[in-house]
Amino acid sequence: MAKTSRKSSPVAAETPSAPVKTDVLIAGAGYVGMTTAVAIKTGAPQLDVTIIDAAPAGQWKKDPRASAIAAAATRMLGQLGCWEAIKPDAQPINDMVITDSRVSDPVRPVFLTFAGEVNPGEPFAHMVENKVLNASLHAKAAELGINVIEGVGVDGFITESNAVTVTLADGRLLETRLLVGADGVRSRMRDQAGIKTVHWSYGQSGIVCNVSHERPHEGRAIEHFFPAGPFAILPLKGNRSSLVWAERTEDANRLVAQDDFVFEAELEQRFGHHLGEIRIEGNKRAFPLGLTLAREFVKPRFALVGDAAHGIHPIAGQGLNLGFRDAATLAQVIVDTERLGLDIGSFAALEQYQTWRRFDTVQMGVSTDVLTRLFSNDSLALRTVRDIGLGLVDRLPMMKNYFIKQAAGFGKENPRLLQGEAI
């Protein structure tokens, strides 16, 4: 049975045969879908915004993962009134260290380091547990009067000239001026819209888990490049860290199937002893890694955001922040179009969003693909080249500053929210 947010939804009161009208309907209640809804409603309170979440009510509270939130996204969350609730549980990344070695090497030389501030008092990123981020977004959505329908998915939709009629899995009908697909990398909305993708697998899976350790991390993030894939240690609040560990898929599946004792022994070889004894917190899971790029981001009265539009390798930690850029851009286009009294679902309006986002997305996809292929191997020639490159970057302050600003999400044509400005 579908459940709604604390604010009663007019959708729930209607019979299945009576389509209920809403201005914007977002399919997917992850952090990108929720942020898109909150941003649109903040900029244009007169618009009716509805979110459809196929997951059971409250499922997001069980998400054990954590995410790196870039400085630009932090500014956006501040403008949307969400950051103050998140900040007490957010761990600033004070600096970052990059090494390149084999697991068996007794010494892992540091080739590149980054200071953690883009401006005085502004770290280039924070680590935030997903359930904390989602709690803030859900609270803000309820405060703004956004309709959230949980526990039911979209069964299908029909696009007409002036509206999209959406059928939910329980038979209810909704009519919307704009439908947004925010349902992840295996997006059913994208498939139903007939949008094709470019996709390939890296033969790797990312093991994700949290660990506790004896010694404080001091806000330092560490990324080890091993032949099988990158191994990132990302600081959380307290003596805890989040791990993103890429391994060949068959090895990753074997590792997560092991009991904690065996898994921790394998983990310790990669993690090292600099933070003392380590212990696994909660479950460990593995996710297949690949590159997925939608050939189109928009159709008439339809737009994709987040992983539904692009799924990239986590080697640069930019997947979520790409999605936040989608959310900020689409919200700005919709709000500006509404203020002009024009049709928010028109293809002309949505084409602005696609044009704005396409180059950045393809550029990031290509960059992460090149980095993955360059670093996930044991070629002596490639290792020599990449280590010389890392060393050169480390010795060029202007280049390091450029990379820090890119990691912080400060692009040349950022939408207003990512600049810390009101939408």
pLDDT tens string, the chain, 423 residues long: the values are 333 333 444 444 444 567 899 999 999 999 999 999 999 999 999 999 999 999 998 899 989 899 999 999 999 999 999 999 999 999 999 999 999 999 988 888 888 898 878 888 899 999 999 999 999 999 999 999 999 999 999 999 999 999 999 999 999 999 999 999 999 999 999 999 999 999 999 999 999 999 999 999 999 999 999 999 999 999 999 999 999 999 999 999 999 999 999 999 999 999 999 999 999 998 899 999 999 999 999 999 999 999 999 999 998 889 999 999 999 999 999 999 999 999 999 999 999 999 999 999 999 999 999 999 999 988 888 888 888 888 888 888 888 888 888 889 998 789 999 999 999
Contacts of 411 (CB under 8 A, 6+ apart): 72, 325, 360, 418
Question: CA-to-CA distance for 54 and 191, rounded, in angstroms?
Answer: 16
Q: Give CA torsion, residues 115, 120, 125, 128, to 10 deg.
A: 130
Domain boundaries, the chain: 20-419
Q: Which H or E run contains 34? A: helix 31-43
For the whole prediction, is pTM greater than 0.75?
A: yes
Question: CA-to-CA distance for 157 and 234, rounded, in angstroms?
Answer: 41
222 in helix, strand or coil?
strand
288 in helix, strand or coil?
strand
Q: At what angle do helices 319-339 and 71-79 cross, to 10 degrees?
A: 40
Any bridge partners for residue 203, and if so which? none
Question: CA-to-CA distance for 69 and 384, rounded, in angstroms?
Answer: 32
Q: Which fold has domain 20-419?
A: FAD/NAD(P)-binding domain (3.50.50)
How many other CB atoms sit within 10 Å of the CB of residue 107?
6
Single-letter amino acid code for the residue at 86: I
Q: Label the pairing between strands 117-119 and 302-304.
A: unpaired
